[in-house]
């Protein structure tokens, strides 16, 4: 599956991820955590992006696709799950934000 297909099947998630990495381009932050809904608290030891199941109804399925296709890797499958964007995926996300 290529990046254009990802944008087609999960436009909301890819759009949010692209906006996040573009706004935070200087920090090179690449990890993210999945929480149920805004207001849930995650007290991690390093800064991470946060994506909410309540904002993306198929979030866990979409993350599985991203993992299976090699765009992200699992850091921890605990509660909550933590993932890391691969460098190439992060670059594609930044490029997607450029006009």
The CA-atom distances, in angstroms, between 47 and each of 24, 28, 34, 50, 63 are 11, 11, 13, 10, 19
Which range among 3-7, 25-29, 67-71 shows the weakest confidence by mean pLDDT? 25-29
For the chain, list the domains and their CATH numbers.
3-97 (1.10.10)
Mean pLDDT value across residues 68-94: 93
Other Cβ atoms within 10 Å of 67 Cβ, number? 14
pTM for the full model? 0.90
40-78 pLDDT, tens digit each? 878 778 889 999 999 998 999 999 999 999 999 999 988
């Amino acid at each position: 599956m290529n990046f254009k297909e990802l944008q087609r099947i999960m436009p909301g998630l890819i759009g949010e991820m692209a906006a996040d990495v573009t706004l935070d381009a200087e920090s090179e932050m690449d990890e993210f955590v999945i929480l149920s809904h805004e207001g849930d608290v995650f007290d991690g030891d390093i800064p991470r992006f946060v994506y909410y199941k309540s904002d993306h109804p198929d979030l866990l399925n979409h993350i599985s696709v991203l993992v299976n296709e090699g765009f992200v890797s699992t850091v921890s499958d605990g509660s909550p799950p933590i993932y890391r964007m691969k460098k190439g995926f992060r670059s594609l996300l930044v490029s997607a934000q450029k006009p």
